[in-house]
Amino acid sequence: MKTNTLLTIQNPILKGFNPDPCIVRAEEDFYIITSTFEWYPGIPVYHSRDLVNWRHLTNVLTHHIHFEGNPDSASVWAPALSYRDGLFYLVYTDVKRSKYPFKDAHNYVVTAEDITGPWSEPVFLNSGNFDPSLFHDEDGRKWFLNVHWDYRIEGRNKSAGIVMQEYSVDAKKLIGPIHHIFDGTDLRKTEAPHIYKHNGWYYLVTAEGGTGSTHAVTVARAKDITGPYEVDPLNPMMTSAHDESLPLQKAGHASLVETQTGEWFIAHLCSRPVHGKYSILGRETALQRVHWTDDGWLRLASGGREAQVEVQAPNLPAHPFEPDENQHDDFDEEALHPVWNTLRIAPDDSWCSLLEKPGYLSIKGGESLHSLHHQHLIARRQQHVCCEVETAVEFEPDSFLQMAGLVLYYNTDNYVYTFISHDEEKGKCLSVMKCVWGEFEKLDICLPLAGEQTKIKASIQSDQVFLFYADDTGEWKEVSDSISIAHLSDEGNGFTGNFVGMCVQDMRGTAIAADFDYFLYKELNG
């Protein structure tokens, strides 16, 4: 048997926007799922056999979603995966409105015998709360947990602890009384509940402090599943709130797994803010080794409460995967590579195609970058602080309402867009628009374009982007001075991190198409 020569887990294990991880083991396989919010497909499944090497294996929500009109940073929140008796259970929240004071949020469960599906149709469970999880007790009963949201509480934080109700597999619904099992601690904003049973104790692992810089992991335990739960006397179990210089910030929202070799780890979200300020990559996923103390509390194996970048790997055989980052996509396949994502709607022949013009990705013009319905945008996560993205587009607009190009996109209020359009005096030209925390600006740039194909390149250097283009001359030229992308971050915006990709708009409604020849994503030394 080949031993694991990779002695350390390098965090984050899932780079770029991959928040709210839930980890589970099924025999010798480990799976992590993460939140996707308004991005399609919903809920990626990452797979590993050694906790060191991970691959994107599949996605859960691929056809049974209805996210059109959902606001930014809504839709799929904090899914939770579990496995019992040969069946995978996944619970998730579809958030329709997240602003205060109410939560228009609906919780569902889906199941599958194989992690790659097919997954069952969603079964509705309850509304008004979020961050669900499902615990399978030794006696066969199943318990559904979620945040208790009480709009009557003063202030913006209306989290009132954790509630639990039994789930009937036969009836496919929640049954019996609702138990309020945990009020939370002084850290407040109690969320992301998971229950684990170990040595006769029920352990409740929650996130507290909010998902920003004060995020933390809180652990409590009880002899009875309904409580009362006593809080870890050294709480929080993990946090980075006390030291803004730590490389992994916002540490929290954890879930627990035991390897087949009896070693314990937690998966948790974290952030690597640029200049210590801007989480442009969003919230990512990391792993920490943990252990149980003699008095029955969970502790980081590294000591203290600070998440580590390098973590000792488990005593498992090394299991690397073939690289599948797809850094250069020539659009030669018949289906989109799994690296690509769309907003709220699935990519289908009604608006995008790899077959209409072989070797190209053809995208028909949709609504504006501010639309919550039919944005025709195909993008991938930004996974490195310094990277370069490039594409080549063929597009012949005849109106200023028609646009196609390269976009850096956080949400409808925050983006930088380098696009081809039509100017009444200059004809086909290259321009730049941006939206910064809701303030729109079209830059005073209108560069005439010659030839059929235009290349556009964005070089992202920390919190700045440098834009370039090349027309039929083949020579790269600067589009503008560097542009700040500090606004393409979680701070003050939401939960999703920055995406880079291609999009087309036709606000005249004629669905003019643009053809993209390739897309290149390349990490840069920064």
Q: Which residues are registered as beta bridge partners of 26?
A: 29
Give me the pLDDT at residue 520, please. Answer: 97
- Please state, in angstroms and rounded to a whole number, the distance separating the CA atoms of residues 57 and 171: 31
Please check the confidence at residue 66 and state whether its pLDDT lies above 90: no
Extents of the domains making up the chain:
8-312, 328-523
Q: What is the pTM of this model?
A: 0.96
Q: What whole-number percentage of the chain has pLDDT above 90?
A: 93
Specify the DSSP class assigned to residue 262: S
Give me the pLDDT at residue 154, please. Answer: 87
- Please state, in angstroms and rounded to a whole number, the distance separating the CA atoms of residues 493 and 414: 8
Average pLDDT over residues 416-433: 98
Confidence band for 356, pLDDT divided at 50, 70 and 90: very high
- Under CATH, which architecture does the 8-312 domain have? 5 Propeller (2.115)
- Please state, in angstroms and rounded to a whole number, the distance separating the CA atoms of residues 363 and 335: 14
Find the distance separating the first CA and the last CA of the chain, reported in whole Å: 38
Please say whether the beta carbons of 503 and 440 come within 8 A: no
Confidence band for 3, pLDDT divided at 50, 70 and 90: very low
Please check the confidence at residue 221 and state whether its pLDDT lies above 60: yes
Q: Hey, what amino acid is at 349?
A: D
Q: Hey, what amino acid is at 5?
A: T
What tokens does 353 get? 């195609």
Please check the confidence at residue 298 and state whether its pLDDT lies above 60: yes
CB atoms within 10 A of CB 382: 26
Per-residue model confidence as pLDDT tens digits over 470-502: 998 889 999 999 999 999 999 988 999 999 999
* Fold matches, 8-312 and 328-523: no
CA 289 to chain centre: 23
Confidence band for 347, pLDDT divided at 50, 70 and 90: very high
Please say whether the beta carbons of 336 and 347 come within 8 A: yes
191 flagged as catalytic: yes
Give me the pLDDT at residue 2, please. Answer: 47
Measured on CA atoms in the order 67, 439, 514, 489, is the torsion positive or negative?
Answer: negative
CA 122 to chain centre: 21
Please say whether the beta carbons of 285 and 22 come within 8 A: no
- Please state, in angstroms and rounded to a whole number, the distance separating the CA atoms of residues 478 and 470: 9
Give me the pLDDT at residue 526, please. Answer: 59
Q: What whole-number percentage of the chain has pLDDT above 70?
A: 98
Out of 50, 94, 191, 284, which one is annotated catalytic?
191
Per-residue model confidence as pLDDT tens digits over 272-295: 999 999 999 999 999 999 999 999
Average pLDDT over residues 6-35: 96
Per-residue model confidence as pLDDT tens digits over 72-95: 999 999 999 999 999 999 999 999
In sequence order, the 6+-apart residues with CB closer than 8 A to the CB of 439 are none
Confidence band for 4, pLDDT divided at 50, 70 and 90: low
3-state secondary structure 335-403: CCCCCCEEECCCCCCCCEECCCCCCCEEEECECCCCCCCCCCEEEEECCCCEEEEEEEEECCCCCCCEE
In sequence order, the 6+-apart residues with CB closer than 8 A to the CB of 242 are none
Instruction: Find tokens 């997954």 and name the residue.
Output: 119
Give me the pLDDT at residue 63, please. Answer: 84
Average pLDDT over residues 221-235: 98
Give me the pLDDT at residue 493, please. Answer: 86
- Please state, in angstroms and rounded to a whole number, the distance separating the CA atoms of residues 80 and 75: 15
349 flagged as catalytic: no
CATH number of 328-523: 2.60.120.200
Regarding beta strands 133-136 and 142-149, do their DSSP bridges make them parallel or antiparallel, or are they unpaired?
Answer: antiparallel
Give me the pLDDT at residue 500, please. Answer: 98
Task: Tell me what the pLDDT averaged over the chain comes to.
Answer: 96
Please say whether the beta carbons of 17 and 379 come within 8 A: no
Give me the pLDDT at residue 6, please. Answer: 54
- Please state, in angstroms and rounded to a whole number, the distance separating the CA atoms of residues 424 and 180: 64
